[in-house]
Amino acid sequence: MNKYFLIVASYFVSFSSLSAQLNKPIIEPFNIGWGWFNLRISGTQIAPKAVEWQVIEKNLNQIVFSTSCDNTICSSNCLNGLFGDQKDTREKLIVGCKSNTTYTAKVRYNNAIEWSPWSESIDISTPIEPNYSGDEISILVWGNELVYFGDQCGIISTSRLGSQSLDSKDNFCYALQCDMRRVLNRKINIVNASYDGASIDSWLDIDKYKFDSIYASAYAMSLFFFGQESARKNIIATDYAKKLDSLSRFLASRQHHHIINSIHYTTDISKVSRKTQSDYAAAWNNKINTLESFEPDVAKYLWKGLDLYNLFRVDTLRYISPDGLHLDMTEGVPALVYRLAPFLFEIIDSTLTNTISTPPNKVSTYQKNNEILIHNSSINELLHYDLINLNGIKVQSGKISNSSITLNENISTGIYFLRLINNNSHVISQTKLFYNN
């Protein structure tokens, strides 16, 4: 009896000691930029098993970032109330924030048994994004899972080409844009063309036909993430390779630079088996290697992207969300941005900088109320125009009167392409413009 009492008492003392170690942590910010900042936790005394980082946009009093499962798209897949960030347990990068905005951050941690108290809250104010010099470079991102889900720091992007409404989240693309602008100090636009159900078939059957009319003249490069959708369309891996071949040859024929990443790895095998995933990854690897090695006319414009299959497979805890299917928005996105950005830097510096000079017949535009004033002394045949939105739809057409266009009242704020057409129905200019209604 006494022995039993001593064991229970010893266990109680040990548990109490462990609980007592969960003191209130300290949080501090560092490396604060206009679209990012880092957070650091200290004063924990033990190595945390999991950490909950939380960031609130102060003016809205709204949580815009949290590693709690209650704030993910897949909370039903979380194991228990102690779910948290198990990879970044000392420092956390928050990338993809609004510039000139004040955030409030706090942190807590657990020992796999209980949570510590929250730290004191701290305010973090991001500076204003700077103005940039040099050519503006716009990059299209195509895909589904990776670029369709999630939002890290309260950003709702208005530079989408996909079919989703503007309240769709644009975490990955905006985070990538922030990091590229930070390092290159240039105006890099990452434009999201993703939509639910996008696949290589939908690109070849639908999106391909928008390319010549819209994308070719406005975007320097395309970045492809086919995710797992390509493996759900009932095509075998050899046919997938043939479709990759068709896609790359088409873009090369248009002299358009493009990066094709591998499919994603997922731990959820209810939609695609391990064997199918590995077959698709091998098909991607072999096809891209063959094109780069033996097809010089294609290789000039094709870049082999990231092997996301093996990257995610080796570190599923960081990259795969609890639902086993999607990219983890709080741990995987910053890590993937930091892997992809240097790859894009190399391409831009070595290739695109020398090829995306101002196109001929690019007109200057100026907005005055609901009028677009056009000026370019080298163009004397400004007779007709089309105004096209980012989905490739003509929203207004007509004749140009006195070098100006009066826009209809239903034309909303956004990015458009202004296409100028001469009397012989030849396109003589296509310029991107931003209209502020």
Structural contact between residues 306 and 59, judged by C-beta atoms closer than 8 angstroms: no
Rounded to two decimals, the pTM is 0.71
Residue 289: which pLDDT band, with cuts at 50, 70 and 90? very high
String of b and e for 294-309 (b: at least 16 CB within 10 Å)? eeeebbebbbbbbbbb
Locate 308 and state its tokens. Answer: 């996301």
The pLDDT score that the predictor gives to residue 293 is: 94
In this structure, the strands spanning 257-260 and 221-225 are parallel
Q: What average pLDDT does range 383-399 have in this prediction?
A: 76
The CATH number assigned to the domain with range 364-435 reads: 2.60.40.10
Tell me the pLDDT tens digit for each residue of 172-231. 788 888 888 876 778 888 888 877 777 888 889 888 887 777 677 778 889 998 877 776
For residue 391, pLDDT beyond 70: no
Report domain extents, the chain.
18-125, 137-354, 364-435
Picking from 213, 217, 212, the residue whose alpha carbon sits closest to that of residue 361 is 217
Amino acid, single-letter form, for residue 144: N
In total, the chain counts a number of residues equal to 437
Query: What counts of helices (H) and strands (E) characterise the chain?
Result: 12, 19
The CATH number assigned to the domain with range 18-125 reads: 2.60.40.10
CATH topology of domain 137-354: Rossmann fold (3.40.50)
Distance set, CA 275 to CA 236, 240, 263, 362, 437 (Å): 11, 15, 13, 51, 52
d(CA 55, CA 124) in angstroms, rounded, equals 10
Tell me the pLDDT of the chain averaged across its residues. Answer: 78
The pLDDT score that the predictor gives to residue 279 is: 93
The pLDDT score that the predictor gives to residue 353 is: 53
Alpha helices in 149-299 (DSSP H): 171-184, 200-202, 208-210, 216-218, 237-253, 274-294, 296-299
Question: Cα torsion at 266, 270, 272, 278 (round to 10°)?
Answer: 50
Same fold, 18-125 and 364-435: yes
Angle of helix 171-184 versus helix 332-350 axis, rounded to 10: 50
- Dihedrals φ, ψ of 324, to 5°? 80, 5
Instruction: Report DSSP state, residue 86.
Output: S
The pLDDT score that the predictor gives to residue 76 is: 53
Locate 114 and state its tokens. Answer: 């209980």
Residue 295: which pLDDT band, with cuts at 50, 70 and 90? very high
Q: What average pLDDT does range 348-360 have in this prediction?
A: 52
Picking from 399, 366, 367, 363, the residue whose alpha carbon sits closest to that of residue 378 is 363
For residue 13, pLDDT beyond 50: no
Other beta carbons within 10 angstroms of residue 424's beta carbon come to 8
The pLDDT score that the predictor gives to residue 378 is: 53
Q: What average pLDDT does range 44-48 have in this prediction?
A: 91
